[in-house]
């Protein structure tokens, strides 16, 4: 009697089970992402699937492949002397597809004779095949390109901005929004005296300025002044909800606006926000006001008004809580300088910040704080 035993490996069922578990986990994660995604992202996820499945055929039709007549190492080893020559290989660039609410982002490899120019020439063909309104091709490092396919126009899609309420990490970076390819657009405010916001009516200038104020308002290093020629009171107009965050506001009163903005009028001009911050106007020839030790102010001009943000000496809510007196307490100086108690007392003990003693109380004159700040600014400028 002959018995046949299974000669296969004993770990084969375990391996199949592990593969099945991995596939199930992948499917579960994919379905979870699809369920949690919004409507636009779901359409893009289905679009990304079509892009992956049809890429090999599409690349050949678009001329993005290369024919390699050199046989591979395995073909050279297995080839026979009298046999037929190995068939040439058709190389197709590898891609990675990532969907978002506006379309797909495809990162592809380059090949010999298939570089950035060839991808850019095929952009229209790819847009039609992927059902996109526009496609852009940009280099993404050596041997890589990024292909951005936009299904819906980001400039016409309504968007909502929710401020986090946290101070921005970089005060020299202003995030405006996205461009026509849904890429983030940022403006550098470093060493920039001003930024002009212009456009046709309804283009979102006021919304952009409001976003700027909402993003920078939580920072203790920003002051904001507003001017709106459409209204006569601060409680009216497009910036009525932001007036509480401003230390100065001008309406349609031209005399008041000119008195605050003309640098050559000493009798009528008072530096914006100085009384509320407990500082005194600088005496002597007219100079550009320096409200802060960090850089220059950044005015944001629009068709309907002006908003100026400049680095101050303290947060506005804390400055409003402290009245503009000739003598300041140590906690008030701590708020204005954004320093701790020990650091302020070190300045007082070293004589860098002048003070007087009234009984057991320590008071700092306002002009002493002003002189201290000006001295530090002059030392930094030198």
Tens of pLDDT, residue by residue over 62-101, are 999 999 887 777 777 776 666 677 778 889 999 999 998 8
pLDDT for position 324 = 43
Is there a single domain that holds both residue 312 and residue 334?
no
Is there a single domain that holds both residue 182 and residue 308?
yes
Q: For the purposes of burial, counting CB atoms within 10 Å of the CB of 240, is it exposed (0-12), middle (13-18) or buried (19 or more)? A: middle
Is there a single domain that holds both residue 189 and residue 288?
yes
Give the Cα-Cα-Cα angle 24, 28, 31 (nearest 5 degrees).
135
Question: Is the residue at 52 inside a domain?
Answer: yes
| Distance between CA atoms of residues 379 and 382, nearest Å | 5
The pTM is what? 0.54
Is there a single domain that holds both residue 114 and residue 188?
no
Return contacts of 309-312, CB within 8 angstroms, 24+ apart. 309/212, 309/213, 309/216, 309/222, 309/223, 309/224, 310/222, 310/223, 311/171, 311/221, 311/222, 311/223, 312/221, 312/222, 312/223, 312/273, 312/277
At 306 the three-state DSSP class reads: strand
CA of residue 218 relative to chain centroid, distance: 16
- Who wins on pLDDT, 170 or 258? 170
pLDDT for position 118 = 92
pLDDT class for 333, splitting at 50, 70, 90?
confident
Backbone angle region of 249, left / alpha / beta, with phi > 0 → left and psi within -120 to 50 → alpha: beta
Question: Is the residue at 346 inside a domain?
Answer: yes
Is there a single domain that holds both residue 140 and residue 240?
no
User: For 124-180, what is each residue's pLDDT tens digit?
Assistant: 999 999 999 889 999 988 899 999 999 888 887 777 788 888 888 888 888 888 888
Is there a single domain that holds both residue 189 and residue 138?
no
Is there a single domain that holds both residue 241 and residue 369?
no
Supply the range of the domain harboring residue 292: 173-316
What is the average pLDDT score of the chain?
A: 76
The dihedral through the CA atoms of 199, 203, 206, 210 has a sign that is: negative
Question: Is the residue at 197 inside a domain?
Answer: yes
Question: Is the residue at 196 inside a domain?
Answer: yes
Question: Is the residue at 24 inside a domain?
Answer: no
How far, CA to CA in Å, does 242 sit from each of 132, 227, 249? 40, 12, 10
| Distance between CA atoms of residues 130 and 58, nearest Å | 10
pLDDT for position 157 = 78
DSSP element (H, E) containing 358: strand 356-358
Strand partners, 299: 308
Is there a single domain that holds both residue 243 and residue 370?
no
User: For 46-72, what is each residue's pLDDT tens digit?
Assistant: 999 999 999 999 999 999 999 988 777
Question: Is the residue at 12 inside a domain?
Answer: no
Last residue of a domain, one of 316, 338, 369: 316
* DSSP conformation letters of 112-127: TTBSHHHHHHTHHHHH
| Distance between CA atoms of residues 327 and 109, nearest Å | 68
Is there a single domain that holds both residue 195 and residue 311?
yes
Domain tally for the chain? 3
Contact 304, 229 (CB under 8 A): yes
| Distance between CA atoms of residues 38 and 33, nearest Å | 10
Is there a single domain that holds both residue 259 and residue 339?
no
Is there a single domain that holds both residue 139 and residue 62?
yes
pLDDT for position 248 = 78
Question: Is the residue at 8 inside a domain?
Answer: no
pLDDT class for 345, splitting at 50, 70, 90?
confident
Range among 123-132, 188-197, 277-286 rated most confident = 123-132
pLDDT for position 281 = 39
Tokens 């994919």, residue located: 30
Is there a single domain that holds both residue 294 and residue 231?
yes
User: For 300-313, what is each residue's pLDDT tens digit?
Assistant: 444 444 444 444 43
| DSSP symbol at 186 | E
Contact 151, 43 (CB under 8 A): yes
Question: Is the residue at 4 inside a domain?
Answer: no
Q: For the purposes of burial, counting CB atoms within 10 Å of the CB of 88, is it exposed (0-12), middle (13-18) or buried (19 or more)? A: exposed
């Amino acid at each position: 009697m002959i018995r046949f035993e299974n000669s296969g490996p004993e770990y084969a069922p375990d391996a199949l089970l592990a593969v099945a578990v991995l596939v199930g986990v992948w499917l579960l994660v994919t379905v979870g992402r699809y369920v949690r995604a919004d409507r636009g992202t779901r359409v893009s996820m289905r679009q990304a699937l079509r892009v992956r499945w049809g890429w090999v055929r599409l690349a050949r039709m678009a001329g993005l492949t290369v024919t390699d007549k050199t046989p591979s190492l395995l073909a050279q080893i297995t080839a026979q002397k009298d046999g037929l020559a190995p068939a040439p290989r058709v190389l197709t660039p590898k891609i990675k597809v990532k969907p978002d609410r506006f379309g797909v982002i495809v990162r592809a490899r380059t090949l010999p004779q298939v570089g950035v120019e060839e991808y850019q020439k095929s952009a229209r063909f790819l847009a039609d095949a992927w059902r996109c309104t526009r496609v852009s091709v940009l280099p993404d490092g050596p041997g890589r390109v990024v292909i951005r396919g936009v299904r819906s126009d980001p400039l016409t899609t309504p968007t909502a901005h929710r401020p986090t309420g946290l101070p921005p990490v970089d005060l020299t970076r202003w995030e405006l929004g996205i461009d026509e390819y849904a890429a983030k657009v940022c403006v550098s405010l470093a060493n920039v005296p001003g930024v002009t916001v212009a456009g046709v009516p309804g283009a979102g200038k006021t919304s952009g300025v409001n976003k700027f104020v909402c993003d920078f308002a939580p920072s203790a290093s920003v002051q904001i002044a507003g001017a709106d020629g459409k209204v006569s009171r601060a409680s009216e107009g497009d910036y009525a909800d932001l007036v509480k965050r401003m230390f100065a506001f001008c309406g349609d009163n031209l005399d008041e606006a000119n008195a605050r903005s003309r640098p050559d009028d000493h009798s009528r001009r008072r530096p914006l926000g100085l009384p509320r911050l407990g500082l005194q106007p600088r005496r002597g020839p007219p100079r550009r006001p320096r409200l802060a030790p960090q850089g220059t102010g950044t005015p944001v001009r629009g068709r309907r008004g002006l908003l100026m943000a400049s680095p101050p000496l303290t947060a506005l809510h804390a400055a409003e809580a402290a009245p503009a007196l000739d003598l300041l307490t140590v906690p008030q100086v701590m708020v204005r300088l954004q320093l701790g108690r020990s650091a302020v007392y070190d300045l007082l003990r070293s004589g860098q910040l002048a003070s007087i003693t009234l009984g057991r109380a320590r008071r700092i004159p306002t002009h002493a704080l002003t002189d201290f700040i000006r001295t530090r600014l002059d030392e930094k400028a030198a």
